[in-house]
């Protein structure tokens, strides 16, 4: 697996830098990175080992009946392949059955994943609730989270399976930059819109608000954007209203500026800057792996996967929604990185620059935004907690390469 694979990760970090580590100081400049490559490799192996140990500890702990209670030995409602220990499989079955029995939208997505041979398991992560890896065809969820949280996480991740089965590319940076911006944001906004719809269906069927309340506390900006049917409305009404719910939630996703920044950084900025520390041969390989060619219109993107469980495009009345400046803008850092990337590509390969992004509206500076929000929250934080939190982008790239290898 390479860095460029489309890994859909539902992030916990909400704008905080990821992977703070003792390696930070070494990565304070490119010279350091080149001069310490052997040391860096060793330190990374140690970090990796530490992570593996932590992972195995959390897997055992969080699937043990002492922490989670006892799960019944129930037969699965959807025949989907599960991975992990006996206790982990029992918990996964309980989660899957609860979704499938109480949400029509959730059940059809789980069935779709089963038909595509997707496996589901637990994977401990420091920074995420769950992810879908299309190259391995696995959905992994974080065992440390509550069952109420994991039900919407699972709905979100199996929605990504559906999106790929509808044509979302398995690799990042295949289409031109303007298309990539819209495609990846639409995929995340649609996955959250689905999670919201599943949570509302579960609430209406079970008359238990726990899953919906957990979604609301995790994503208040999305929840606030949704004008949901009342708490006492029958599930039929919730299903009837799904087009409106999903539109609202989709739009609400874009209100989360930090989240939009994190995905822009992960999916675009880090890939565009990956050539910065590469030798010529590796740069040529990167230009091949990230072709940035071919355009899709907003309409084509929303028609590809923004669908209700009845097979209707929920943006059929507003198919150009992704051209809204709020949805298709890019940050200054991404634009500058793209200018350099395509100029370097032209110099090295003669291939014309991608011009698709030149007229996209500006979202301002994402790192400026992050620094401002950190300064604001730092005022309420102890001094020792604020040190060592800036992570050089090159470190993240290298850590990521290491993690995904």
Q: Which residues bind Zn ion (CB under 5 A)?
A: 8, 10, 188, 191
Q: Which is nearer to Zn ion, 10 or 133 (CB)?
A: 10
With H, G, I as helix, E, B as strand and everything else as coil, classify residue 330.
strand
Q: Which is nearer to Zn ion, 158 or 366 (CB)?
A: 158
**How many other C-beta atoms lie within 10 A of the C-beta of residue 222?**
25
Q: What is the closest distance, in whole angstroms, from the C-beta atom of residue 157 to Zn ion in the complex?
A: 7
Q: Which is nearer to Zn ion, 194 or 271 (CB)?
A: 194
Q: Which helix (H) or strand (E) holds 322?
A: none
Q: What is the closest distance, in whole angstroms, from the C-beta atom of residue 187 to Zn ion in the complex?
A: 7
Confirm if 339 and 272 have CB atoms less than 8 A apart. Answer: no
Residue 219 half-sphere exposure toward CB, CA atoms < 13 A: 31
Q: What is the closest distance, in whole angstroms, from the C-beta atom of residue 260 to Zn ion in the complex?
A: 13
Q: What is the closest distance, in whole angstroms, from the C-beta atom of residue 152 to Zn ion in the complex?
A: 11
Q: Which is nearer to Zn ion, 194 or 241 (CB)?
A: 194
Beta strands 8-11; 128-133: pairing state: antiparallel
Strand partners, 9: 131
Q: What is the closest distance, in whole angstroms, from the C-beta atom of residue 239 to Zn ion in the complex?
A: 23
Q: Show the tokens assigned to 298.
A: 């907003």
Ramachandran angles phi, psi of 362, nearest 5°: -90, 140
Q: Which is nearer to Zn ion, 92 or 191 (CB)?
A: 191
Measure the CA angle with vertex 92, ends 171 and 237; round to 5°. Answer: 85
Confirm if 303 and 166 have CB atoms less than 8 A apart. Answer: no
Q: What is the closest distance, in whole angstroms, from the C-beta atom of residue 191 to Zn ion in the complex?
A: 4
Strand partners, 321: none
d(CA 214, CA 30): 42
Q: Which is nearer to Zn ion, 52 or 170 (CB)?
A: 170
**How many other C-beta atoms lie within 10 A of the C-beta of residue 244?**
14
Confirm if 399 and 1 have CB atoms less than 8 A apart. Answer: no
Q: Which is nearer to Zn ion, 194 or 283 (CB)?
A: 194
Measure the CA angle with vertex 114, ends 122 and 123; round to 5°. Answer: 10
d(CA 13, CA 32): 27
Q: What is the closest distance, in whole angstroms, from the C-beta atom of residue 149 to Zn ion in the complex?
A: 14
Q: What is the closest distance, in whole angstroms, from the C-beta atom of residue 163 to Zn ion in the complex?
A: 9
Q: Which is nearer to Zn ion, 11 or 286 (CB)?
A: 11
Q: Which is nearer to Zn ion, 131 or 314 (CB)?
A: 131
Q: What is the closest distance, in whole angstroms, from the C-beta atom of residue 224 to Zn ion in the complex?
A: 20
d(CA 306, CA 392): 36
Q: Which helix (H) or strand (E) holds 224?
A: helix 220-225
Residue nearest to Zn ion (CB): 8
């Amino acid at each position: 697996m390479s860095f460029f694979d489309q890994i859909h990760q539902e992030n916990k970090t909400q704008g905080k830098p990821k992977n703070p580590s003792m390696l930070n100081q070494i990565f304070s400049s490119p010279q350091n990175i080149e001069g310490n490559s052997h040391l860096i490799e060793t330190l990374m192996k140690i970090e990796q080992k530490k992570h593996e140990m932590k992972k195995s500890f959390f897997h055992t702990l969080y699937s043990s009946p002492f922490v989670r209670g006892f799960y019944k030995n129930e037969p699965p409602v959807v025949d989907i392949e599960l991975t992990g220990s006996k206790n982990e499989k029992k918990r996964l079955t309980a989660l899957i059955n609860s979704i499938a029995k109480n949400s029509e939208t959730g059940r059809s997505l789980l069935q779709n994943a089963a038909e595509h041979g997707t496996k589901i398991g637990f994977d401990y992560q420091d920074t995420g609730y769950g992810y879908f890896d299309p190259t391995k065809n696995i959905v992994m969820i974080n065992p440390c989270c509550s069952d109420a949280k994991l039900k919407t996480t699972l709905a979100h991740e199996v929605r990504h399976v559906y999106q790929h089965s509808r044509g979302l590319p398995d690799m990042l940076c295949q289409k031109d930059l303007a298309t990539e911006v819209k495609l990846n944001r639409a995929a995340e906004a649609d996955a959250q819109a689905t999670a919201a719809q599943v949570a509302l269906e579960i609430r209406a069927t079970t008359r238990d608000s726990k899953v919906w309340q957990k979604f609301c506390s995790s994503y208040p900006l999305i929840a606030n954007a949704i004008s949901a049917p009342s708490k006492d409305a029958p599930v039929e009404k919730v299903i009837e209203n799904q087009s409106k719910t999903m539109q609202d939630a989709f739009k609400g996703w874009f209100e989360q500026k930090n989240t939009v920044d994190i995905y822009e950084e992960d999916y675009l900025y880090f890939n565009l800057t990956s050539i910065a520390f590469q030798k010529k041969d590796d740069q040529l390989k990167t230009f091949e792996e990230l072709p940035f060619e071919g355009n899709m219109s907003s309409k084509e993107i929303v028609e590809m996967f923004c669908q209700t469980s009845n097979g209707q495009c929920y943006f059929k009345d507003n198919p150009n929604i992704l051209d809204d400046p709020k949805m298709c803008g890019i940050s200054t850092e991404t634009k500058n990185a793209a200018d350099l990337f395509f100029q370097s590509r032209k110099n090295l390969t003669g291939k014309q620059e991608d011009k698709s992004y030149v007229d996209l509206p500006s979202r301002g500076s994402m790192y400026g935004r992050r620094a401002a929000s950190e300064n604001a929250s730092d005022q309420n934080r102890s001094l020792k907690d604020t040190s060592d939190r800036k992570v050089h982008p090159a470190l993240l790239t290298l850590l990521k390469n290491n993690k995904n290898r």
